[in-house]
Amino acid sequence: LHPLALTLQNKHLRTIAIVAHDFCFYSRHGEWWKAKSLSTKREGFIPSNYVAKVNTLETEEWFFKDITRKDAERQLLAPGNSAGAFLIRESETLKGSFSLSVRDYDPVHGDVIKHYKIRSLDNGGYYISPRITFPCISDMIKHYQNAWEIPRESIKLVKKLGAGQFGEVWMGYYNNSTKVAVKTLKPGTMSVQAFLEEANLMKTLQHDKLVRLYAVVTKEEPIYIITEFMAK
């Protein structure tokens, strides 16, 4: 089990209005579409950047079609975004290709933006790492957004190391092979959100001298935070 290098948070970097089923579009005039509401029968013009075909990348809030690498960095470093904030953009250097830009935190340099090439397969799939491929970019994003979540069945609790008001700490094994520390939350003792704030902080603070977060189990109680096991 290795700490995950790529964790994505779905930040609202922009507001999108997707106009689809309730409108009939007649024609495009420069940066505007002439449209008619099917419910009110009223006609008017809608900015073209507020219109997208359903089930396309343009309808995703994380997709920025015409944005440069520098603009992506500026957007992601803006106040209100934190480590894990991301966007997908068209590649500036390779037409028809895409890049993933992610905000991260470096203990030395502070907030940084990392860029990853999204490579395409001959069969239409996509990947960042060749170890795992996806049929579409949306599936790839969903995978990395949920990459910290693992099945409860993959964790075996072996020895209780301590207990407190809110939960217990166990030594256990991930997939019966990797020794880990497991922090559990007693149901009803504190909010799940407050408990997971520790995990969110650990996602950001990855450092050789800090205990590393490996994964979480949050789909049902009791909630687990799985970290590196540090022997005394």
Share of the chain above pLDDT 90, in %: 20
* CA–CA dist 18, 31 (Å, integer): 16
Q: Which is higher by pLDDT, 79 or 35?
A: 79
| Cβ–Cβ under 8 Å, residues 181 and 229 | yes
Say whether 160 counts as a known binding-site residue: no
* Mean pLDDT, residues 21-27 taken together: 63
Cα–Cα nearest to 226, from 182, 169, 160, 178: 182
Q: State the fold for domain 1-6+62-147.
A: SHC Adaptor Protein (3.30.505)
Does the pLDDT value for residue 13 go beyond 70? no
pLDDT in tens, 43-56: 888 777 666 666 66
The pLDDT of residue 172 is 95
pLDDT in tens, 175-208: 888 899 999 988 877 776 676 666 666 555 555 5
Max avg pLDDT among 149-153, 158-162, 207-211: 158-162
The pLDDT of residue 211 is 65
pLDDT in tens, 83-116: 678 899 998 888 778 999 988 766 677 888 989 9
> Which ranges in the chain are annotated with CATH 3.30.200.20?
152-228
pLDDT band at 32 (very low <50, low <70, confident <90, very high): confident
The CB density around residue 227, as the number of other CB atoms within 10 Å, is 22
The pLDDT of residue 57 is 67
Question: What would the CATH number be for the domain defined by 152-228?
Answer: 3.30.200.20
Return mean pLDDT, the chain.
77
The CB density around residue 142, as the number of other CB atoms within 10 Å, is 14
Q: Which is higher by pLDDT, 190 or 229?
A: 229
Does the pLDDT value for residue 161 go beyond 90? yes
The CB density around residue 101, as the number of other CB atoms within 10 Å, is 21
Cα–Cα nearest to 221, from 179, 189, 173, 199: 189
The pLDDT of residue 18 is 41
* CA–CA dist 200, 213 (Å, integer): 9
Does the pLDDT value for residue 10 go beyond 50? no
Does the pLDDT value for residue 2 go beyond 70? no
pLDDT in tens, 121-150: 888 899 988 878 999 988 888 877 766 778
* CA–CA dist 36, 46 (Å, integer): 10
The pLDDT of residue 199 is 66
Beta bridge partners of 106: 110
Does the pLDDT value for residue 16 go beyond 70? no
Cis peptide before 79 (omega within 30 of 0): no
> Which ranges in the chain are annotated with CATH 3.30.505.10?
1-6+62-147
φ/ψ region of 57 (left if φ > 0, alpha if ψ in -120 to 50, else beta) reads alpha
